[in-house]
Amino acid sequence: MSHAVFQTPAPMNEGIKSYAPASMEKLLLKTELERQKRECVEIPLFIGDKQIKTNNTEEIRAPHDRSLKLGIYHKAGKEEVVMAINAAKKARAEWAAMSFEDRAAIFLKAGELLSSPKYRYLLNAATMLAQSKNPFQAEIDAACELIDFFRFNAYYMNKIYSDQPMVNPYGNWNRLEYRPLEGFVFAVTPFNFTSIAGNLPTAPAMLGNVVVWKPASTSMLSSYYIMKLLKEAGLPDGVINMIPGKGSDLGATLLNHPDLAGIHFTGSTSVFQSMWKTVGDNLSKNVYKNYPRIVGETGGKDFIFAYKDADASALAVAMFRGAFEFQGQKCSAASRAYVPKSLWPKVREDLAKMAEEVKVGDICDFKTFMGAVIDKNSFDNIVSYIEYAKKSSEAKIVVGGRYDDSKGYFIYPTVVETTNPKFKLMEEEIFGPVLTVYPYDDDSNDDNNNDDKLMEILKIVDETSPYALTGAIFAQDRKMISKISNALKNAAGNFYINDKPTGAVVGQQPFGGARASGTNDKAGSYLNLIRWLNVRTIKENFIPIYDYKYPHMQES
């Protein structure tokens, strides 16, 4: 038993490797890519101390080259779900009782292992091949952001535990005890960020919770290596149990279990709303021991708004990178833009030039900017929007509009110009490399009229989408920046001024949005971690009281 108040190391953001020509990191990553292309991995379930093969399998293929088989993964059924819940419950008491510094040490070690050549290139290559990210995108996601989550979450955990009552009256000692939730946490993670797949199960676990984790089927390769990483870092059996499979097959058993203590979710809005409804229905039936904590981040229809004095060149680059990095498969991706008519010709020209220069193709070619979208369903959905725009009298495609699924699921950067700010592509989440732009009128010389028109268009920006995840504005006049920011105060949980609406960094811009975008519990901050704790207040009295009477009742 130690007798000290420990402090975790002060966290720093992991440095980003450039993968420049002739660099050692490029050589090491290229070597690992070739190794994984030759290997066909068989991925089991991780339940307690067992790695289980159900023989109900699915293939893992590269989205940019469907002929490249990377592995197979075994899928869980109801029996395995029950096993995972029981394994988590079995591990809970010992894990919850472990000192915070011992728990923190596991994840701090995981961060150091991931920072090392052994895991950095392994996880980056898996993310590139199975999720079709280019080297830079994989580096900032699978390596840097996940390392940051491990380091900063340990720091935030320490900070939360250190928060104690300020007042202790004479003869009293007041304390706060931070307990993990009573039960298990169900973590559901998406395909598009390896770092999210790593953070959603580990953030609750770090606080002493036990977790049943269902990764996205299209990110199973990187999820497998995350489990290997955590095991090597010393994570005890049963603390995180990984059960791949179809959500509709697994969810009912988990969501209807009386020991469900929380849900940590990133994915589609419809799935999250369905889960919330199930929990609500179950509460009315007294299914649960406690009210489950529900933390979720879902979709976005993220905007860029430009004022007439915006830097047109910087605006165009922000629109291009914000919309087309990782093929627009980010919940934060720029999907709609409002550009003054006076700036639009220049911005449109710059966008067309960038789209013409950009390389779309195999991510193993380090000159590639855009890989493939994740699968056939995504490809078909995005194509349906492009075709809708082509046929509409309210829109025209001014950049791109091409797609090809003969080898991989490739969709080229596409910019749609519309005359209707409520056009379908301005309102609905597409989750692909399609940016729709509404050029708005800014040609009046009447300042009062201009101001009225500005507020009208800002009202449209605010009300067009049910989401409120990310948004960006471009302007130079500080008065206008303030006015526009205030008008869009509730339109985005992550708000950017003269920058693209993507690329939040742990410890710098905690991430999350409100409205239909989720619960805004800010991954990458203490605000998320505190949701996974159940606080007990302890008051200890050192001076016994032997008389029930109040002072004013005493005899004089």
Question: Got the DSSP string for 209-231?
Answer: -EEEEE--GGGHHHHHHHHHHHH
Per 3-state DSSP, what percentage of the chain is helix, strand, and coil (rounded to 5)? 45, 20, 35
Cβ atoms within 10 Å, residue 193: 26
For residue 416, pLDDT over 60 is answered with: yes
Query: For position 359, what pLDDT does the model report?
Result: 97
Query: For position 446, what pLDDT does the model report?
Result: 52
Which fold would CATH assign to domain 28-298+518-539?
A: Aldehyde Dehydrogenase; Chain A, domain 1 (3.40.605)
> Backbone phi, then psi, for 54, in 5-degree steps?
-90, -15
What is the torsional sign of CA 108, 111, 116, 118?
Answer: positive
Query: For position 248, what pLDDT does the model report?
Result: 86
> What does the alpha-carbon distance between residue 250 and residue 256 come to, in Å, rounded to a whole number?
11
| 545-555 mean pLDDT | 88
| 233-258 mean pLDDT | 96
Query: Which ranges in the chain are annotated with CATH 3.40.309.10?
Result: 302-497
DSSP state of 531: G
* Contacts for 177 with CB less than 8 Å, ≥ 6 apart: 535, 536, 537, 538
Tokens of 531: 């949701």
- Contact between 290 and 183 (Cβ < 8 Å): yes
| 523-543 mean pLDDT | 97
Q: How buried is residue 94: exposed, middle or buried, by Cβ count under 10 Å (0-12/13-18/19+)?
A: exposed
For residue 352, pLDDT over 70 is answered with: yes
417 band by pLDDT with thresholds 50, 70 and 90: very high
Query: For position 396, what pLDDT does the model report?
Result: 98
Residues of the chain with pLDDT > 70, as a percent, come to 98
**3-state secondary structure string, 383-395?**
HHHHHHHHHCCCE
| Mean residue pLDDT across the chain | 96
Q: What is the pLDDT of residues 275-313, one digit of tens each?
A: 999 999 999 999 999 999 999 999 999 999 999 999 999
CA distances in angstroms from 260 to 89, 253, 333, 497, listed in the order given: 11, 10, 32, 40
Q: What is the pLDDT of residues 49-83, one digit of tens each?
A: 999 999 999 999 999 999 999 999 999 999 999 99
For residue 450, pLDDT over 80 is answered with: no
DSSP 236-270: PTTSEEE--S-HHHHHHHHHT-TTEEEEEEES-HH
333 band by pLDDT with thresholds 50, 70 and 90: very high
1 band by pLDDT with thresholds 50, 70 and 90: low
Query: For position 556, what pLDDT does the model report?
Result: 67
- Contact between 429 and 447 (Cβ < 8 Å): no
Query: Which ranges in the chain are annotated with CATH 3.40.605.10?
Result: 28-298+518-539
Q: How many CA atoms lie within 13 A of 464 on its CB side?
A: 30
Nearest CA to 395 out of 355, 434, 430 is that of 434
| 131-146 mean pLDDT | 98
Q: Which residues pair with 334 in a beta bridge?
A: 302
For residue 348, pLDDT over 70 is answered with: yes
Q: Which residues pair with 45 in a beta bridge?
A: 52
Q: For the chain, first and last CA: distance in Å?
A: 52
Query: For position 447, what pLDDT does the model report?
Result: 56
Greatest Cα pair distance in the chain = 97
For residue 445, pLDDT over 80 is answered with: no
For residue 449, pLDDT over 70 is answered with: no
Q: For the chain, how big is the Rg over CA atoms in Å?
A: 26
Give how far the C-alpha of residue 332 lies from the chain's centroid of Cα atoms, to the nearest Å. Answer: 9
Which fold would CATH assign to domain 302-497?
A: Aldehyde Dehydrogenase; Chain A, domain 2 (3.40.309)
> What does the alpha-carbon distance between residue 134 and residue 127 come to, in Å, rounded to a whole number?
9
| 171-181 mean pLDDT | 98
| 164-177 mean pLDDT | 97
What is the torsional sign of CA 435, 440, 442, 446?
Answer: negative
Q: Tally DSSP H helices, then E strands, for the chain.
A: 17, 23
| 476-484 mean pLDDT | 97
Query: For position 451, what pLDDT does the model report?
Result: 81
Pairing of strands 41-43, 65-74: parallel
521 band by pLDDT with thresholds 50, 70 and 90: very high
> What does the alpha-carbon distance between residue 402 and residue 374 come to, in Å, rounded to a whole number?
17
Q: What is the pLDDT of residues 182-213, one digit of tens each?
A: 999 999 999 999 999 999 999 999 999 999 99
Nearest CA to 121 out of 13, 16, 198, 26 is that of 26
Catalytic residue annotation: 297, 331
* Contacts for 143 with CB less than 8 Å, ≥ 6 apart: 14, 17, 114, 115, 120, 123, 124
> What does the alpha-carbon distance between residue 441 and residue 342 come to, in Å, rounded to a whole number?
8
